Chains A and B, each alone.
Chain A
Amino acid sequence: MTSFVVNGKAVQTDADPATPLLWVLRESMGLTGTKYGCGMAQCGACTVHLDGQAIRSCVAPLSRAEGKHVTTIEGLSPDLSHPLQRAWIEIDVPQCGYCQSGQIMSAAILLKENPKPTDNDIDEAMSGNICRCGTYPRIRRAIHRAVEMAAQGRTK
């Protein structure tokens, strides 16, 4: 039995502890916002937060989550209020949208660790996430925009 916290809620599962966390989240817990793209930590579509770090859940065994906090896209904000979500909507970043959960979860850790990233910082933090539709220019703009939105939010 593996016990951990997902989006603030304590959960237990008897799934095989070697199963990648991605499949437990998607198939056992119905958190399908986290996507499968490659199964070998190449594309970032499965990015979630484990105790505040971005991880690729397609290669992280369930056992790694034992006793820890997992945040998925569904837990980022209850109401699309996270500055990244607001910026993504304002700039209309997504096209097909399939990779965007992973993009946003990677960007969220970037902003947590570096509230005002440069373009180079964005390159470093976001190059593990592939977007086949080619939304990179908008992702970059939206991250900068989210910084502004977060700043405005703080001064209010």
Chain B
Amino acid sequence: MTATGLDRREFLRASAAVGGGLLISLYVPELDLARAQSPPGAAGKVFAPNAFVRIGTDDIVTVISNHSEMGQGVYTSLPMLLNEELEADWSKVRVEPAPVDAVYNHTVFGAQMTGGSTTTTSEWERYRKMGAAARVMLVQAAAQQWNVPADSCHVEKGVVIHAASGKKASYGSLADAAAAIPVPSNVPLKDPKNFITIGKKVRRLDTPSKTNGTAQFGLDVTLSGMLTALVARAPVFGGKVVSFDASESLKVPGVRTVKQVPSGVAVIASAFWPAKLGRERLKINWDDGANAEISSTKMLADFSSQSASPGLVAKKAGDPVGALAGAAKKITAEYDVPYLAHAMMEPLNCVVDLRADSCEIWTGTQFQTGDRANAAKVAGLAPEKVQIHTTLLGGGFGRRANPASDFVMEAVNVAKAAKAPVKVMWTREDDIRGGWYRPMWHDRFAAGLDANGEPIAWTHTIVGQSIMEGTPFEAFGIQNGIDSASVEGAADLLYGIPNLQVDLHSPKIGVPVQWWRSVGHSHTGFSVEAFFDEVAHAGGKDPYQLRRKLLAKQPRMLGVLDLVAQKAGWGKPMPAGRGRGIATHFSFDSYVAQVIEASVEKDGTVHVHRVVCAVDCGRVINPDTVTAQMEGGIIFALTAALKTEITLENGRVQQRNFHDYPMLRMFEAPAVEVFIVPSEEKPTGVGEPSVPPVAPALTNAIFAATGKRVRRLPIRSSDLAAGAEVKS
């Protein structure tokens, strides 16, 4: 991908809003030309297709969010950025989702999408610029009306004030006049020391609607005459329908029709329940295809043997082989993590209204540009004829940024077959068995220690499927055969170890894989930080102190490490039976360190008592959101560490719902303490960086409590029970 958002010509543009008021839009001449050649579809319903803010004559300020809200708080932080410069009355600020348009592209990724913990990084300047331009125009409009110099006016909470005369005018009353003012170029942004809201706790704009049932998710969308469909998908990935018998399905009252679609057989009904009953009564003869032999048990052994020889070299420094051979002490270990499903609380769904010359889609997506292009292909329409209404997302975690647009394309196919507006729903079983998992990964390490017990050599061989291969992200993410997502958090190791090698095997396996909150860091965070603990113990070093020493040239990581150790009381006594584990990880340009206190019962049950987390994510927009994302990421990661795995035998996924793919529950959720390092560096990622250090901090704590080293997730109580040997 190219950073098209940054280098093309862009201008801000103002216009009168429909029904009065001011719109501030991004104007890109090249895009305007493209639009003129193929005007927007869906009967011109695209309202102000490139606006970022609309100021109504009623004083309501509507910020248009080009990023999707999936819980991470962008429907509050983006308005905060814009309003820092606009200085409207915050109680009048609203937010709504952007339509699909290239002006809304991510400033780095060059596509309209939400992911990689990058919303703030992408929009940090752009939303403030929009707000600043609008403010200057409103002030200018007031100054003209009052016939005073603009610089003799100032703004306060949505009101322009001329102090000398005592004249005041609200933004709403000035909005129409402001729309006629030329848009200023290069309005200087505030010096951060003058920020009014950035950096202060602001309550989320979306909370009230999420406590009274009015928040609208994709699953809640209803259209007049809409049908509901479930799709029976192949039990083996890549399987195809040979034949099917729908006669029993069609007897279910409410089932309208049953049609084959590329992904399986769609049961199209008046509502969910008849669609479900109808699907249960379908008889389908499947051709399982090439993947019917897949066994994750066998993969575990295959990955281990593959890791015995080095793969493609992702990173090399010094002479790791020579240094290992000459080391005073050598240790090795192998780590494993399983396939994982995202298991968002809102299962996937997509509503499609397909007409002869238009296609309207309502769904919670993280990848509008890709979904629109893929939907257009299925619909046989130009992308401009496809409109996506982004709803709230009932969790995303990466699953709703599918490079193949699986759930959107399928829904357009079903809409074609239904010949009516249709909502395609996924049951929880469909979700758990639907693929696009976090890859299964194997990590083999060797470390050489010198006579002082300090590591001088480190080799790390990774085995796991490439996420980006075959996607539009391939050119951007794969260099010399190395998928950066497979080796992130390993090839960029922060520890000062002079002789280092990280290499990669990327086996091709017919299980679709995808980014899952923290992506490659979800395995490297665990394996690197757990093995580092082994290295520290092998050398007789305190794991905190050894980290300090090897992070001497990483001041920001050292900062979070020292902070977390101090807050957690590293080295201080604890109740009997408890162990303390420490881990750090750098991801999404943010620094996180965690200490976990845990104990293990005789039967192997693990109790997580306390998690202390320190984060340095640069300048903070809304500190309570950062805290919430740290808390949430920690709980999410504890579920992965303690509970979940997707396994396959005979090509079939063995889990299906929350009884066998269990989530952490209230009674298991530990106390979480979050500390944010104050920083004036540019803002960096928040949604994902708290995930990677959790599993290693926990397994390191288990080692401290029991002397047992856990090298395979999820942690198995059977391995930790009194008398059990830990298998790895």
> Hey, which bits of chain A sit against chain B, CB under 8 A?
16, 19-20, 23, 26-28, 30-40, 42-43, 45, 72-74, 76-77, 80, 84-85, 88-90, 92-101, 104, 122-124, 126-140
CB of B219 closer than 8 Å to a CB of A: yes
Q: What is the chain B residue whose CB lies nearest that of A38?
A: B428
Instruction: List residues of chain B with CB within 8 A of the CB of A99.
Output: 345
Residue from the list B204, B208, B273 in contact with A80, Cβ < 8 A? B208
Known pairs A42-B657, A123-B667, A136-B664; list 19 more (Cβ under 8 Å).
Answer: A27-B271, A28-B271, A30-B222, A32-B219, A32-B222, A33-B214, A34-B213, A39-B427, A80-B211, A92-B207, A94-B71, A94-B207, A96-B396, A97-B209, A101-B213, A122-B666, A127-B667, A132-B344, A137-B631
User: Taking A45-B345, A97-B206 as contacts, is the C-beta distance between A134 and B667 under 8 angstroms?
Assistant: no
Q: What is the chain B residue whose CB lies nearest that of A19?
A: B273
Within 8 A of A (CB), among B526-545: none
User: Taking A130-B345, A133-B632 as contacts, is the C-beta distance between A92 and B204 under 8 angstroms?
Assistant: yes
Sample (19) of A-B pairs whose CB atoms are under 8 Å apart: A27-B271, A35-B394, A94-B210, A96-B71, A96-B344, A96-B393, A97-B210, A97-B215, A97-B392, A98-B394, A99-B345, A127-B665, A127-B666, A129-B666, A130-B658, A134-B635, A134-B664, A136-B669, A137-B635
User: Taking A23-B273, A137-B669 as contacts, is the C-beta distance between A96 and B213 under 8 angstroms?
Assistant: no
CB of B340 closer than 8 Å to a CB of A: no
A18 to B632, CA, bound (A): 37
Instruction: List residues of chain B with CB within 8 A of the CB of A127.
Output: 665-667
The reply to whether B669 and A94 form a contact with Cβ atoms under 8 Å apart is no
The reply to whether B211 and A94 form a contact with Cβ atoms under 8 Å apart is yes
CB of B624 closer than 8 Å to a CB of A: yes
User: Taking A96-B70, A97-B215 as contacts, is the C-beta distance between A20 and B428 under 8 angstroms?
Assistant: no
Instruction: List residues of chain B with CB within 8 A of the CB of A89.
Output: 203, 207-208, 211
A34 to B394, CA, bound (A): 13
Instruction: List residues of chain A with CB within 8 A of the CB of B392.
Output: 96-97
User: Taking A40-B659, A95-B628, A98-B395 as contacts, is the C-beta distance between A134 and B633 under 8 angstroms?
Assistant: yes
User: Taking A96-B394, A122-B666 as contacts, is the C-beta distance between A132 and B343 under 8 angstroms?
Assistant: yes
The reply to whether B213 and A73 form a contact with Cβ atoms under 8 Å apart is yes
Instruction: List residues of chain A with CB within 8 A of the CB of B90.
Output: none
The reply to whether B663 and A132 form a contact with Cβ atoms under 8 Å apart is yes
Q: What is the chain A residue whose CB lies nearest that of B673?
A: A137
A72 to B212, CA, bound (A): 9
Instruction: List residues of chain A with CB within 8 A of the CB of B395.
Output: 96, 98, 132-133
CB of B581 closer than 8 Å to a CB of A: no
User: Could you mark each residue 387-428 of chain B with 1 if its beta carbon is under 8 Å from any beta carbon of chain A, else 0?
Assistant: 000001111110000000000000000000000000000011
User: Taking A100-B210, A132-B636, A133-B71 as contacts, is the C-beta distance between A23 and B272 under 8 angstroms?
Assistant: yes
Instruction: List residues of chain A with CB within 8 A of the CB of B204.
Output: 92, 94
Closest approach, in angstroms, between the C-beta of B516 and any C-beta of chain A?
A: 12
6 shortest A-B CB distances, which residue pairs? A33-B213, A134-B635, A98-B394, A97-B210, A95-B71, A96-B71
Scoring A19, A72, A96, A129 by chain B CB atoms within 10 A of each residue's CB, the highest score goes to A96
Instruction: List residues of chain B with CB within 8 A of the CB of A101.
Output: 213
Closest approach, in angstroms, between the C-beta of B114 and any C-beta of chain A?
A: 13
Q: What is the chain B residue whose CB lies nearest that of A139?
A: B666
User: Could you mark each residue 211-248 of chain B with 1 if its beta carbon is under 8 Å from any beta carbon of chain A, else 0?
Assistant: 11111110110100000100000000000000000000
Within 8 A of A (CB), among B55-72: 69-72
The reply to whether B657 and A85 form a contact with Cβ atoms under 8 Å apart is no
Closest approach, in angstroms, between the C-beta of A9 and any C-beta of chain B?
A: 15
Q: What is the chain B residue whose CB lies nearest that of A40?
A: B657
User: Taking A31-B213, A43-B658 as contacts, is the C-beta distance between A96 and B345 under 8 angstroms?
Assistant: yes
A134 to B642, CA, bound (A): 14
A26 to B214, CA, bound (A): 12
Closest approach, in angstroms, between the C-beta of A99 and any C-beta of chain B?
A: 5
User: Taking A20-B273, A132-B663 as contacts, is the C-beta distance between A98 and B216 under 8 angstroms?
Assistant: no
Give the total of B residues in contact with A, Cβ under 8 Å: 59
Interface on chain A toward B: helix, strand, loop, or mixed SS?
loop
Q: What is the chain A residue whose CB lies nearest that of B671?
A: A137
Closest approach, in angstroms, between the C-beta of B348 and any C-beta of chain A?
A: 12
User: Taking A88-B211, A89-B203 as contacts, is the C-beta distance between A32 and B657 under 8 angstroms?
Assistant: no
Instruction: List residues of chain B with CB within 8 A of the CB of A16.
Output: 253, 273
A122 to B213, CA, bound (A): 22
Instruction: List residues of chain A with CB within 8 A of the CB of B89.
Output: none
A31 to B220, CA, bound (A): 9
Instruction: List residues of chain A with CB within 8 A of the CB of B383.
Output: none
Closest approach, in angstroms, between the C-beta of A113 and any C-beta of chain B?
A: 17
User: Could you mark each residue 628-672 of chain B with 1 if its beta carbon is under 8 Å from any beta carbon of chain A, else 0?
Assistant: 100111111000000000000000000001110001111101011
A123 to B222, CA, bound (A): 36
A136 to B636, CA, bound (A): 11
User: Could you mark each residue 344-366 of chain B with 1 if its beta carbon is under 8 Å from any beta carbon of chain A, else 0?
Assistant: 11110000000000000000000
Q: What is the chain A residue whose CB lies nearest that of B659?
A: A42
Residue from the list B346, B397, B632, B659 in contact with A135, Cβ < 8 A? B632
CB of B73 closer than 8 Å to a CB of A: yes
A37 to B211, CA, bound (A): 17
Closest approach, in angstroms, between the C-beta of B364 and any C-beta of chain A?
A: 9
A122 to B669, CA, bound (A): 12
A47 to B658, CA, bound (A): 16
The reply to whether B667 and A97 form a contact with Cβ atoms under 8 Å apart is no
A130 to B664, CA, bound (A): 7
Residue from the list B216, B345, B628 in contact with A37, Cβ < 8 A? B345
A134 to B636, CA, bound (A): 6
Q: What is the chain A residue whose CB lies nearest that of B202?
A: A92
The reply to whether A92 and B428 form a contact with Cβ atoms under 8 Å apart is no
A90 to B208, CA, bound (A): 10
Closest approach, in angstroms, between the C-beta of A149 and any C-beta of chain B?
A: 13
Q: What is the chain A residue whose CB lies nearest that of B396?
A: A96
The reply to whether A39 and B636 form a contact with Cβ atoms under 8 Å apart is no
Instruction: List residues of chain A with CB within 8 A of the CB of B669.
Output: 134, 136-137, 140
The reply to whether A97 and B632 form a contact with Cβ atoms under 8 Å apart is no
The reply to whether A76 and B212 form a contact with Cβ atoms under 8 Å apart is yes
Instruction: List residues of chain A with CB within 8 A of the CB of B271.
Output: 23, 27-28
Instruction: List residues of chain B with CB within 8 A of the CB of A135.
Output: 628, 631-632
Residue from the list A33, A40, A95 in contact with B632, Cβ < 8 A? A95
A128 to B394, CA, bound (A): 18
The reply to whether A38 and B658 form a contact with Cβ atoms under 8 Å apart is yes
The reply to whether A35 and B212 form a contact with Cβ atoms under 8 Å apart is no
The reply to whether B207 and A98 form a contact with Cβ atoms under 8 Å apart is no
Instruction: List residues of chain B with CB within 8 A of the CB of A133.
Output: 71, 345, 395, 632, 635-636
Instruction: List residues of chain A with CB within 8 A of the CB of B214.
Output: 33, 74
Instruction: List residues of chain B with CB within 8 A of the CB of A35.
Output: 217, 219, 345-346, 394
The reply to whether B206 and A94 form a contact with Cβ atoms under 8 Å apart is yes
Closest approach, in angstroms, between the C-beta of B635 and any C-beta of chain A?
A: 3
Closest approach, in angstroms, between the C-beta of B420 and any C-beta of chain A?
A: 16
User: Could you mark each residue 180-216 of chain B with 1 if its beta carbon is under 8 Å from any beta carbon of chain A, else 0?
Assistant: 0000000000000000000000011011111111111
The reply to whether A37 and B428 form a contact with Cβ atoms under 8 Å apart is yes
Instruction: List residues of chain B with CB within 8 A of the CB of A90.
Output: 203
Instruction: List residues of chain A with CB within 8 A of the CB of B428.
Output: 37-40, 43
